[in-house]
Amino acid sequence: MAAFGTGGIRSQGRGPSLGFRFTLYAILSIVVMFLDQRHGWLEQARFVLQAAAYPIQLAVNSPSAAWNWLSESFRTRESLEAENARLRKQQHELELRTMRYDALARENGELRGLRDALPSVADRWLAAEIVTDSHRQRIVINRGSTNGVFKAQAVLDDKGVIGQTTHVGPWSAEVILITNPEHAIPVTIERTGLRTIAVGAGDEDSASLALPYLPGNADVKPGDQLVTSGLGGVFPAGYPVGRVSEVHRDAVQPLAQVRATPYGNVDSDRDVMLVWFREGHPAAPVAATTGDLQVGNKTLQPQPAPPPHPKATPPATQPETSNTTPPANNPTAPHTANSSGGARKPASPSGTVNPSPAPSSNGGTAPAPASAEAAPATKEPAPVEAPKNPTSEQSANPPPKDP
């Protein structure tokens, strides 16, 4: 049995030849790829395509949505009561913690000589639902530009940072997860104040982060908590990212191999949060397009900045981008790192983040005295989220992680 008829043959010879048409389409695709990859000039086209794709995404997601709805509606009274009790307990705990947090924030403000405690860095929250499962460490959520979502917006869940928006359609947005190998997020190790970059190291079936820029004698150990450092222009300072899961120090390698497990988990929870940040707040992310590092309101800056050391400033490719580059001498950053997390330890007494790793904790190979300077040097790829050109498109797709 032939599965094919002769349809189409009779129209052979009409119109331009197949090869010619293919050449046209091939050129078109290459141009599209080039524009999309290099310049992000296709935002408008992406916007339209995203809108066109959204109904299909909803349709393909409807079976699992229906299943969730069904299992939700057929729950027993006991399980609902149990959940209610659990939530009430949790709410009490959170209330207590908030009270303590308020007191701490006030005290912190007083200690810094501020008249009033700072308002919370998050200005507005919007809950969103995940529409499609993660494919290549990207997800689609059901909020778009009609809800005010913008490109390179931070996406969190109740446990930590999830990712940031890369493409925004009218009713939906694509989110790149922090575990995507194309994504890098500037973090601080909470225990030591050491700043570095966490690069996605997830694949199809596991979510993990790598910290590839830590020297072999850096003070890091399993269990250390990673929080956002506020650099890079997307995430505000002080939000939990993950926990260091393993540290390997190899005698022949100058850098430690550090892995971390992210807190945020899109597999277990369908709800995420989009956050708008108070502009000018010291803990707000440094805007990638402004020309200087002075974050926000001068009156909110508690004390004169320590003198920056010029050596840590990597050579900026373009003068405008120097704002997000210096990882170590940004006077505002130690402050921002402290101002949002209520009970966090100070980064370091000197006001800079140069860590002074304890010699006892090094792997026994790298010379200890050089380490304090080695740390910022290896952190030079810090501006991974900083745009190569100051357009906001680039900051949403953090460039490859190699320095």
Partner 1 sequence: MSWEVSRGRILFSTLIALVLTVLPLPELADLIRPSFLVLTVLYWSVAAPRAAGVGLGWFAGLLLDVFQGPVLGQHALVLSLVSLITALEHQRIRSKPLFQQSLIVLVVLAFYQGVVLAIDGWTGHPLPSPLQWIQCGTGALIWAPAATLLAQGRRA
Residues of this chain that bind partner 1 (CB under 8 A): 1-9, 11-12, 14-15, 18-19, 21-22, 25-26, 28-33, 36-37, 42, 45-46, 49-50, 52-53, 56-57, 59-61, 63-64, 132-133, 135-136, 138, 180-182, 203-205, 400
Which residue, 132 or 322, is less far from partner 1 as judged by CB?
Answer: 132
Q: How far is the CB of 91 from partner 1 (least distance, A)?
A: 33
Which residue, 17 or 350, is less far from partner 1 as judged by CB?
Answer: 17
Q: How far is the CB of 396 from partner 1 (least distance, A)?
A: 13
Query: How far is it, in rounded angstroms, from Cα 403 to Cα 370?
Result: 20
Q: How far is the CB of 37 from partner 1 (least distance, A)?
A: 5
Which residue, 130 or 337, is less far from partner 1 as judged by CB?
Answer: 130
Q: How far is the CB of 29 from partner 1 (least distance, A)?
A: 4
141, 128 Cβ separation under 8 angstroms: yes
Could you identify the residue written with the tokens 């926000």?
296
Q: How far is the CB of 288 from partner 1 (least distance, A)?
A: 21
Which amino acid, 107?
E
Which residue, 31 or 103, is less far from partner 1 as judged by CB?
Answer: 31
Which residue, 152 or 366, is less far from partner 1 as judged by CB?
Answer: 152
Give the β-pairing of 184-189 and 240-248: unpaired
Q: How far is the CB of 221 from partner 1 (least distance, A)?
A: 28
Concatenate the DSSP letters of all residues of 61-90 into one string. Answer: HHHHHHHHHHHHHT--HHHHHHHHHHHHHH
Q: Nearest-CA neighbor of 339 among 402, 384, 274, 280?
A: 280
Which residue, 28 or 358, is less far from partner 1 as judged by CB?
Answer: 28
Q: How far is the CB of 256 from partner 1 (least distance, A)?
A: 22
252, 238 Cβ separation under 8 angstroms: no
Q: How far is the CB of 9 from partner 1 (least distance, A)?
A: 8
Which residue, 20 or 150, is less far from partner 1 as judged by CB?
Answer: 20
Q: How far is the CB of 36 from partner 1 (least distance, A)?
A: 4
Which residue, 55 or 364, is less far from partner 1 as judged by CB?
Answer: 55
Q: How far is the CB of 316 from partner 1 (least distance, A)?
A: 22
Tokens of residue 149, six digits: 């979502």
Q: How far is the CB of 321 from partner 1 (least distance, A)?
A: 20
Which residue, 59 or 252, is less far from partner 1 as judged by CB?
Answer: 59
261, 243 Cβ separation under 8 angstroms: yes
27, 35 Cβ separation under 8 angstroms: no
Which residue, 41 or 101, is less far from partner 1 as judged by CB?
Answer: 41
Which residue, 107 or 267, is less far from partner 1 as judged by CB?
Answer: 267
